[in-house]
Amino acid sequence: MSLPHALLGLLAVEPASGYALTKAFETDLGRYAWHAGHTSIYPELGRLAEQGLVEVTAEGPRGSRTYAVTPAGRAELRSWLLDDPAGHSRRVRNEQVLRMFLLSALDPADARIALARIAENTAAGVAELRRVRTAHADKPLIGREGFGQLAAEYGLRQYQAAHDWAIWAMTQLDENTESVGLER
Amino acid sequence: MSLPHALLGLLAVEPASGYALTKAFETDLGRYAWHAGHTSIYPELGRLAEQGLVEVTAEGPRGSRTYAVTPAGRAELRSWLLDDPAGHSRRVRNEQVLRMFLLSALDPADARIALARIAENTAAGVAELRRVRTAHADKPLIGREGFGQLAAEYGLRQYQAAHDWAIWAMTQLDENTESVGLER
DNA sequence: TCGAAACATGTCAATAGTGACAGGTCGAAA
DNA sequence: TTTCGACCTGTCACTATTGACATGTTTCGA
């Protein structure tokens, strides 16, 4: 349940309406880090406001409300980000990694097909993130404009590593099946 | 909702009881890929049995039931693993990456502290996975014994990439704040 | 033989998140 | 001027998952 922190983080950079926050989750943030729809965002903003971590600073047309973090909210965000990361992330739920675990349940021929597909997809990811990175190359790393820049570089390196792994795994698999073939 | 597939994958490698499956999620699988408690596993096994994807093949002491995948279950698992991975993983929920996104919301000094902590943690992860890999070095890649070996190598490379990134990000940050300091 | 630990399965209330449904406002182009 | 698309907020039923609670069995070492 990191949604409240995601919202605090976004609002800490720049006050925004629920609608704007919903849009933010439809970009790279929601694509690579954490996804949320408006149906969870609006209630969560209400809860954060109740707790005094955010507040409505303006009301605009179409009934829109602009939220901003309070000092308490900023403190909460800071302590969450500076907290020991090892303690938190226990609710792991990573479908990519799960697929890699389950690869062993396939026969070698199928595993090879799956790996080839992974290699393709990660290559596409690398290409896409390279574009994202280039688009932000001249912006500062910290603050509104730099938002997500460090994350883009991180994603790029992760995809690159995943791609290298897939290639490696395929050669391993080939060597393996080959030697089994010779032995038997 | 990949829990059913995780269960099918585990059972495809070796029939097991709900209890044994629960234990499996407490090892590397649950630590790095997908976590689930017995309270979701037992009902899910029931659902899979209803759908004819698994079946009870034996009943042991203490009321234990051993489940095995049926041919239909194996087919379902295969098609899931060979399916285009890009289509699926839309419900992203990765707290690590989220933290990296939100780093921009901190001031440079705090961001640096957070990065240092990440560097520490990823270094520890690399060390741990190196041990896991060494322990499995001589086992075959596919099948019961090799289970998770490919995944261990994958995890190792991911941690290594994350570590390199954290180091890189710190130097970037240092250069950045330094130049800002000179300009003003 | 007694007790602890591991084995083995379950219920239930509470929380989190999704998708479908719903309703209204404003700006701009046709 | 009308209509279309973007803007903006919400409810609600349903599904998934968790944590607390509950219960009984078998094994093994002291």
Concatenated DSSP letters of chain B: --HHHHHHHHHHHS-EEHHHHHHHTTSHIIIIIB---HHHHHHHHHHHHHTTSEEEEEE-GGG-EEEEE-HHHHHHHHHHHHS-HHHH--S-B-HHHHHHHHGGGS-HHHHHHHHHHHHHHHHHHHHHHHHHHHHTTTS-SSSTTTTTHHHHHHHHHHHHHHHHHHHHHHHHHHHHHHHHHHH-
Any A CB within 8 A of B35 CB = yes
pLDDT in tens, A114-129: 999 999 999 999 998 8
Query: What pLDDT shows up at residue B28?
Result: 85
Cβ(B25)–Cβ(B16) under 8 Å?
Answer: no
Residue B184 has pLDDT above 70, yes or no: no
- Overall size of chain B counted in residues: 184
Distance CA(B45)–CA(B47), nearest Å, equals: 5
Global pTM reads: 0.88
- Count Cβ–Cβ pairs < 8 Å, chain A vs chain B: 240
Confidence grade of residue A184 (pLDDT, cut at 50, 70, 90): very low
Q: What angle do CA B65, B70, B76 make, to 5 degrees?
A: 120
The CA-CA-CA angle for residues B24, B17, A97, to 5°, reads 30
Burial class (CB in 10 A: 0-12, 13-18, 19+), B25: buried
Cα separation, B50 vs A69, in Å, equals 49
Please report the pLDDT score of residue B87 as a whole number: 59
* CB-CB neighbors (< 8 A) of B113 in chain A: 82
Please report, for chain A, how many H helices and E strands are present, in that order. 9, 3
B110 in contact with chain A, both atoms CB, cutoff 8 A? yes
Our CA angle for A30, A31, A36, nearest 5°, is 30
Q: Do B93 and A35 touch (CB under 8 A)?
A: yes
Residue in A5, A101, A118 closest to B151 by CB: A101
SS3 A91: coil
Residue of A nearest to B75 (CA): A106
Give the mean pLDDT of B15-39. Answer: 92
| Both tokens assigned to B147 | 């289970």
Percent of chain B with pLDDT over 90: 59
What residues 44-73 of chain B have any CB closer than 8 A to a CB of chain A?
Answer: none
Distance A139 CA to D4 C1' (A): 37
Q: Which of A24-38, B116-130, B165-179 has the lowest mean pLDDT?
A: B165-179
| Interchain proximity A104–B172, CB inside 8 Å | no
- Chain B residue numbers with beta carbons less than 8 Å from the beta carbon of A140 are 176, 180
Distance from CA of B101 to the nearest CA of A (A): 5
Q: How large is the average pLDDT for residues B37-63?
A: 94
Chain A residues 62-121 with Cβ under 7 Å of strand D are 62-65, 91, 93
Strand arrangement, sheet containing B16-17: B16-17, B65-69, B54-59
Token readout for B140 is 């075959």
Looking at residues B32-43, what average pLDDT do you find? 93
